[in-house]
Amino acid sequence: MTTRATRGPRRRTVVALAVILSVLAAFVVRLVDIQVVSADEHVSQSLTKIGVGETISGQRGSIVDSGGTVLASSVMVYDAQLSPKVIMQLEENDPRLPWAEAADKIAAITGQTGDEVRALVSDALAKDSQSQYAPLKKSLTTEQYIELRDLKRENNLAYLHMEGRETRVYPNGAVAGNILGFLDSSGAAQAGIEQLGEGCLAPTDGEESYRTGANGVVIPGSERTVPAVNGGSVQLTLNSDLQWYLQQMIGEEAQKQGAKGGTVTVVDVKTGKIRAAAEWPSLDPNDLDSSTPETRYSQIFHKDFEPGSTFKAITAAAAIEGAGLTPLSTVSAASRETFPNGAVINDAFTHPAYNYTLAGGLIDSSNVALSKFGTMVSPEVRYDYLQRFGVGQKTIDFPSEVGGLLHPVSEWDSQSLYTTTFGQYYSVTAAQLAGAYQAIANRGEKIDLSLVESCTAEDGTVATPEKPKHEQIIKEQTAAELTRMLENVAVQGGNADRIQVPGYRVTSKTGTAQVSDGNGGYKAGVYYTSMVGFAPVDDPQYVVVVTLDEPTKVVSSAATASAFQKAMTQVMKTYRVMPSSVPMDELLPKFG
């Protein structure tokens, strides 16, 4: 039997237990609501989105020459700013470092004076008493950034801010500037190797992200970092020392001749690698404002012109292989003749009817003689040979490169039937001209030109472009006969005394192209002149092409003679090419 005394405590225990169970039940219900039913809502209220943090910028890769000399690189610079309003707020609360002293310390790092720094803030406040921004100094170095950062931390300078940005630097200035190209203000490649090599040079940005609570505190364990991957390094085939010399030289020669511009292209005969691509006016990618839109691109790949007499060698190749001619084959040619279809062809100088050999026609650069030799094969055959030697085709697909112009045979009229035999009615670039003579120098084997050697990724992996195409476009014997005739041009031609390179046997051929007036005709007395050749004849190593755009002092191809001789001489020195050891064959006769 339960007494009153025992029932009281038991009842209180039961009640207390019920209360406790009710509270626990409430907690369980609430917990289920928080963690299950309304979990997403509560998470979104208490946490920020994943991705809070900042982008980690990768660095653009460098461009180097064949020997590893840096031609383009990226560096970090820092732009510093001040917050005038925060400066004033701190001054009212006994700052650790008073503004007057802080300005002096900041100025000592940035290369300014304390008065200049204080004036920046005063001027900003005079315009806006609540100003939050006053530019301090742009393009500070990493060392300056570190000094300012340490000063800020040590003295609680909350008003000092530094923002990093990448900038492109070209250590050698204008050396190969037109080939390297440039970036715009946003860092996007606009021309040259910067654009051509974008796949290698461009970095991949990383990301640093984390979660924070509502109070802004980073939640431990939520940090996530994806590192940036820097761009790779592009190695070119260019020799920067040779490039520098040739740019200085062609600039002097072009100005001496009163020309609008000039170029020098050097190609390795055995590999097709471009060792120099010099031009004037030259672009300094560090200073785009000093250039014009026309001079910011490579004229070697961007400008096409009628090759003129330089392509008489290609006509000779077609006639040798298509009509069985030899260097001693002959035709009668006066300085002016009217052909059966009514076309009138003139030579550059007046002379009676000569019984020209094929070699003589090249030596005297007779348009009439080459018209007769060239038309011994069909137009279709000559068109085929022009294509074989690269006319109408881009060389390396350089940004903004043009392929030249080659009209189909169906568009050749009575005049162009003959003018195509001496380099008119089609156009080429300096690069295409170099490629054509590379094939002659290389025993008839044409190798596609190349400018990029490799791409080395940040992890050291090296990738190389596809091997250039090799094609035997003419017979070795044909190439040998062309080489012998072109050496005779260098020895017996009108520029012989001006282009000889002591110790070396050299070939050469000039070109004097009329310049289009834009209306289907030509400018009177205005020419685009060129000279091409290779050396040494007994073991060809390098092709050199020189062009001058509308020279005014000497308007014929003789204007290029001095530049060609200097360029070829320097190339032989740069690569320590052994002098010729085999004497020249006996001279070929000009007349039969």
Q: Of the given ranges (165-169, 192-196, 355-359, 492-496), which has the lowest mean pLDDT? A: 165-169
For residues 162-193, one letter each, b for 16 or more C-beta atoms within 10 angstroms of the residue's C-beta and e for the rest, the string is beeeeebebebebbbbbbbbbbeeeeebbbbb
Per-residue pLDDT, 591: 98
Q: Which of 7-11, 118-122, 315-319 has the lowest mean pLDDT?
A: 7-11
Could you tell me the pTM of the whole model? 0.84
Query: pLDDT tens across 16-25, in order?
Result: 676 676 667 6
35 or 373, higher pLDDT? 373
Cα(266)–Cα(506) distance, integer angstroms? 14
pLDDT greater than 70 at residue 556: yes
Secondary structure in 3-state letters for 306-371: CCHHHHHHHHHHHHHHHHCCCCCCEEEECCEEECCCCCEEECCCCCCCEEEEHHHHHHCCCHHHHH
pLDDT at 49: 44
Confidence of residue 186 (pLDDT cuts 50, 70, 90): confident
Contacts of 225 (CB under 8 A, 6+ apart): 56, 206, 207, 208, 209
Q: Give CA–CA dist 194/184, Å, rounded.
A: 11
Taking only the tens place, the pLDDT of each residue in 485-531 is 999 999 999 999 999 999 999 999 999 988 888 787 888 889 999 99
Residue 47 has pLDDT above 50, yes or no: no
Residue of higher predicted confidence among 187 and 387: 387
pLDDT score for 520: 78
| pLDDT the model gives residue 45 | 52
Report the pLDDT value the prediction gives residue 475, as an integer from 0 to 100: 98
Write down the pLDDT at residue 48. 45
Residue-wise pLDDT for 222-254, tens only, equals 777 788 889 999 999 999 999 999 999 999 999
Asked whether the beta carbons of 276 and 266 are under 8 A apart, the reply is yes
- Please report how many Cα atoms fall inside a 13 Å half-sphere around the Cα of residue 38, on the Cβ side: 9
Judged against a pLDDT cut of 80, whether residue 294 lies above it is answered with: yes
Calpha distance 211→217 (Å, rounded): 8
